[in-house]
């Protein structure tokens, strides 16, 4: 039968430290806040196929939100660094990566005014990325966010932070907001074409994958850009279980004004009501778990003469590959009769 022994008294030189720790542990923590939330920032990541119109959509959306009295930060997370060009009349915004490298060589630190610029209440910046063949775009995104954190990103007081991400690049940096719960919700931008819906579906798959791993990000909905009324994007959204937040028509006036770097998301403009509705839907839409589609389900949104989905795949043979008939060689394996 074993007997427990009491711990020996602590040496004298340890007693003051022990008493201090006990005194600290005895202090009751502050009661959790129970009053109304006074400031909540919605961080929203917008994904879509390259060239589908994310930058156009976000520039006009952020402008409309600012005109409605919201404080908005738009961050371009595309190596092309063209998210903010519509806001600034086609002018290139100095990128965080390029500015950080230049300042580091000069022994200087990056300041907010070096990388963040504003127009009519919209604050905007570009993360940037390497030139083609000179580095990893995803790693550039990670470096850009690290710099943002050093600049105090988590202390900034915005109503909305909109992140413009390229959806048809799948390396880690571009999936950062979903994988690390850096945003509350995702919005996909697509059109009535198979490739943009393929990208939108991949984003939904990524969201669902990380939800299964314990993540909290959901899809708030889809913006249909260049909508020609054929309905494939709307059908995809319905099948995926996400709402359509807005359908921007394939209108020649929109195309011309976008090409001229003209903001159309103005309250008193022809397209103002469209973007006002989009702003309200973006603000209110809850993040949901999407239902990603299989490749065959995606193809079924389109007629067979468009996709060729009725094509039958024919296996290749050895003769196709090397120009000779496949020879069947006898096996050297010893086969024993059953006992």
CB atoms within 10 A of CB 123: 21
**In angstroms, rounded to a whole number, what is the distance separating the alpha carbons of residues 264 and 63?**
9
Please give the average per-residue pLDDT across 288-306, as a whole number: 88
Q: Is there a domain that residue 21 lies in?
A: no
Residue 35 — pLDDT band, cuts 50, 70, 90?
very low
Among 54-58, 107-111, 136-140, 148-152, where is mean pLDDT lowest? 136-140
187-227 tens-digit pLDDT = 999 999 999 999 999 999 999 999 999 999 999 999 999 99
Residues annotated catalytic, as ranges: 49, 54, 80, 168
In a domain, residue 316? The reply is no
The answer to whether residue 223 sits within a structural domain is yes
Establish if 72 belongs to a structural domain.
Answer: yes
Helices (H), the chain: 15-25, 54-67, 96-105, 112-115, 137-150, 176-179, 194-212, 232-240, 252-259, 272-284, 295-299, 304-307, 318-322
Could you tell me if residue 34 is inside a domain?
A: no
- Domain boundaries, position 155: 42-299
Decide if 223 contacts 248 (C-beta within 8 A): yes
In a domain, 187, yes or no: yes
Domain count, the chain: 1
Instruction: Indicate whether 305 belongs to any domain.
Output: no
* CATH code: domain of residue 82: 3.40.50.300
32 within a domain of the structure (yes/no): no
Please check the confidence at residue 315 and state whether its pLDDT lies above 60: yes
Q: What is the pTM of this model?
A: 0.79
């Amino acid at each position: 039968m074993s007997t427990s022994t009491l711990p020996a008294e602590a040496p004298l030189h340890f007693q003051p430290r022990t008493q201090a720790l006990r005194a600290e542990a005895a202090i009751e923590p502050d009661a959790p806040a129970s009053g109304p939330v006074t400031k909540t920032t919605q961080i929203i990541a917008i994904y879509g196929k390259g060239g589908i119109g994310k930058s156009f959509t976000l520039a006009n959306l952020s402008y409309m939100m600012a005109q409605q009295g919201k404080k908005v930060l738009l961050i371009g997370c595309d190596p092309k660094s063209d998210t903010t060009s519509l806001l600034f009349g086609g002018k290139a915004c100095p990128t965080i990566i390029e500015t950080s490298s230049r300042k580091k060589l000069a022994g200087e630190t990056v300041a907010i005014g070096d990388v963040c610029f504003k127009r009519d209440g919209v604050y905007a910046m570009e993360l940037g990325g390497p030139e083609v063949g000179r580095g990893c775009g995803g790693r550039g995104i990670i470096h850009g966010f690290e710099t943002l954190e050093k600049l105090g990103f988590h202390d900034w007081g915005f109503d909305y932070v909109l992140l413009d991400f390229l959806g048809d690049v799948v390396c880690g940096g571009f999936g950062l907001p979903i994988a690390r719960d850096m945003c509350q919700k995702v919005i996909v931008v697509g059109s009535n074409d198979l490739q943009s819906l393929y990208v939108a579906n991949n984003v939904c798959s990524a969201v669902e994958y990380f939800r299964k791993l314990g993540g909290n990000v959901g899809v708030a909905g889809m913006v249909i850009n260049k909508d020609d009324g054929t309905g494939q994007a709307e059908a995809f959204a319905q099948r995926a279980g996400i709402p359509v937040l807005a359908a921007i028509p394939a209108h020649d006036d929109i195309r011309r004004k976008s090409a001229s770097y003209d903001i159309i998301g103005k309250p008193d403009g022809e397209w103002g009501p469209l973007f006002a509705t989009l702003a309200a839907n973006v603000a209110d839409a809850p993040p949901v778990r999407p239902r990603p589609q299989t490749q065959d389900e995606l193809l079924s949104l389109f007629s067979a003469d468009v996709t060729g989905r009725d094509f039958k795949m024919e296996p290749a043979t050895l003769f196709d590959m090397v120009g000779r008939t496949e020879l069947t060689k006898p096996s050297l394996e010893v086969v024993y009769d059953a006992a």
